[in-house]
């Protein structure tokens, strides 16, 4: 009971960015390899923790909310070239 009272509920909202936990079993190495993939955007939150995720190049899919973690990173910014001023060269 003490342990359960310390666990915080994960509350996700529409538009939040999350990463998805994937576990894959590597048969040849005999080890369990874990990976986080994403980021994904939440499009719909269902009752009992089911979440609908979307990504630009993939169709939407549903996952359990326990497999998600909030993503705090930023997108890679596009290269911006500021306006450069030229000054006459001293002689």
Residue 25 has pLDDT above 70, yes or no: no
How is residue 78 written in tokens? Answer: 């596009």
In a domain, 64, yes or no: yes
CATH assignment at residue 27: 2.30.30
Average pLDDT value over all residues in the chain: 78
Q: Which residue in this structure is represented by tokens 């994960």?
A: 10
Structural domain boundaries, residue 27: 13-70
pLDDT digits (tens, 9 = 90+) for 35-71: 788 899 999 999 888 999 998 888 999 999 888 999 9
**pLDDT score of 82:** 59
**pLDDT score of 49:** 86
Total domains in the chain come to 1
How is residue 88 written in tokens? Answer: 């006459």
């Amino acid at each position: 009971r003490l342990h359960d009272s310390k666990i915080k509920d994960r509350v996700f909202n529409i538009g939040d960015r999350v990463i998805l936990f994937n576990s894959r079993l590597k048969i040849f190495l005999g080890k369990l390899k874990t990976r986080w993939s994403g980021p994904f955007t939440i499009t719909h939150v269902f009752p009992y923790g089911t979440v609908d995720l979307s990504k630009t190049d993939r169709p939407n899919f549903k996952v359990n909310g326990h497999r998600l973690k909030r993503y705090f990173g930023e997108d890679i910014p596009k290269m911006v070239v500021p306006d450069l001023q030229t000054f006459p060269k001293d002689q």
